[in-house]
Amino acid sequence: MNSMTGYGEAQGEADGVSYAVEVKTVNNRYLKTIIKLPELAYFLEENIDKLLRKNVQRGTINYVLRLKDTSASALFDIDEKALHAVLEKLSRAGSSSGINGAIDLGNLLTLPGIIQPALPDKERAGQIRKLVLDISQKALDKLTRMRATEGDYLEADIKKCCTAIEEGLGQVRGRSAIVIKEYADKLKKRVNELLAHAELKIDEGILAREVAIFAERSDISEEIARLDSHLQQFAQCCGSSDQAGRRLDFISQEMLREANTIASKASDTETTRYVVDMKCQIDRIKEQVQNIE
């Protein structure tokens, strides 16, 4: 079981260029990749996307590649035509307005479009691709370990909730038979009290029919069996790493459905209290499974 939340980073350097990769993942019902690359590495987007999808099955992946070129042969081009055009326009503007002054070439280089990143040749591109993908895999390995560690904590907490639900379900199961007998005793006692002044005797057949109607209306044996089955399926799914989050989310919804049905049928305050406790645990599970891959 893996959490959908994690972080991984890695660095590398080659030919005077340092590369740094950061990968973060957060919850998402589906798989979504957000890749941010410097212009020099735009050609790697497809390769990186495939690598991310190979390592992560569910969640939003935020991938960032940063690079710093400290070498003397940094990959960039100066658009000389654009630079000459700017110089000519500045010269004409100065002449027409009578303004004389030196033009700072350094300031001109900061104008948009003057300096542009140069695309690496085929050999250099292959080197960059290999290095970046290797660094990215190292970052993803760290991310995977973090997600697995977080997943262990989630699994332990969920199993604790399931144990509490099983205990509550056992209490409800034990109360279900007692409730009918208590209802029959209370009904008989109440009717006898009402008929005592009239010196009449209760019809046992009518009383039996009333108890049978109550028993049928409040029968929760099917709901108990289904909820118990859902708990077993939940435990089996926790042992699976194949996108367990989707299955656990669905099962937890079904568990809540059965608990709500039991609560609606129950006419016993003690049973209702057990069901409320179970629903609190199920809500906790529903919250936690949103974080599972």
All domains in the chain, ordered by first residue? 6-72+120-149 (3.30.230), 76-109 (no CATH)
pLDDT at res. 199: 53
Q: Are 284 and 252 in contact (CB under 8 A)?
A: no
Give whole-number Cα distances, 139 to 5, 176, 193, 202, in Å.
14, 55, 78, 80
| pLDDT, tens only, 111-149 | 666 665 656 668 888 888 999 999 999 999 999 999 999
Buried b (16+ CB within 10 A) or exposed e, 225-259: ebbbebbebbeebbeeeeebbbbbeebbebbbebb
Among candidate residues 1, 51, 61, the one with its CA nearest the CA of residue 28: 61
| Residue 43: DSSP 8-state | G
What is the pTM for the complete model shown?
0.68
Find where tokens 């009402």 sit: 194
Residues in the chain predicted with pLDDT less than 50, given as ranges, are 72
